[in-house]
Amino acid sequence: MCIRDRIDILAIGSSTGGPDALTKVLLGLPADLPVPVVITQHMPPVFTKMFAERLDRGTPLKVVEAGDGMELTAGTVYIAPGDRHLVFNRKGTSTLTQLSNAPQENSCRPAVDVMFRSVAALYGATAYAAILTGMGQDGRGGAKVLRDAGCEILAQDEASSVVWGMPGAVVGAGLADEVLPLERISAALLNRVRVGRSAAVAR
């Protein structure tokens, strides 16, 4: 793993307590963030669209519920829609979203594991992943695939998590490069994105 590699995408997974945690993380990221952000939050249909709209109004970044065939662009957050896995494919030099009706994983659809595996396949070590508060172990398997691809992984700490199931599973498996309280996660993500970029581009 080379921590000097430039990061081209942020991938975040969360569940119980995730909406508040994600709001706080996205509030700390600037509108000119030079990479896209992809998120799987366990949430039923309809609610994901409402959540995306609320984040779009209340945070600096553009936030959308992911649909089929959206091109990933810097400064935009793509949230997996309820009951659909979020994966990605390449078309030329562009990365496009793809929604999947594949079976549930970890009793979840969307599942963090599915998204993480897809990010690993396309981005490898140029991805940076974060696993936030949530019940269960979704994200642990995908984090292993990301780690094997050279990706760095950040986990929310137990004290600031509503439920430490998901981040705790990643930490317990020895897959977390950093374990941080919620209030420090935005800065950690932004600092990592700045590696390999000038301060003028990433400020």
- Structure confidence by residue, pLDDT tens digits, 159-200: 999 999 999 999 999 999 999 999 999 999 999 999 877 543
- Among residues 14, 42, 85, 157, which one is catalytic? 42
Cα–Cα dist 124/121, whole Å: 6
Convert the pLDDT of each residue in 69-93 to its tens digit: 999 999 999 999 999 999 999 999 9
Instruction: Establish if 4 belongs to a structural domain.
Output: no
**Residue 68 annotated in active site:** no
Q: 138, 160, 161, 186: which is the annotated catalytic residue?
A: 138
From CA 152, how far away is CA 66, in angstroms rounded?
Answer: 24
In terms of Cα–Cα distance, which of 83, 49, 88 is closest to 69?
Answer: 88
Q: How many Cβ atoms sit within 10 Å of the Cβ of residue 36?
A: 23
Residue 149 in tokens: 């691809």
**Could you tell me what percent of the chain has a pLDDT over 70?**
95
User: What is the domain extent for residue 104?
Assistant: 9-194
Considering the domain boundaries, does residue 139 fall inside one? yes
Distance between CA 152 and CA 132 in Å, rounded? 15
Helix (H) or strand (E) holding 169: helix 165-172
CATH number of the domain encompassing residue 136: 3.40.50.180
Catalytic, out of 15, 118, 160, 161: 15
Q: What is the pTM of this model?
A: 0.95
Q: Is residue 202 part of a domain?
A: no
- The total number of structural domains in the chain stands at 1
Q: Known catalytic residue: 20?
A: no
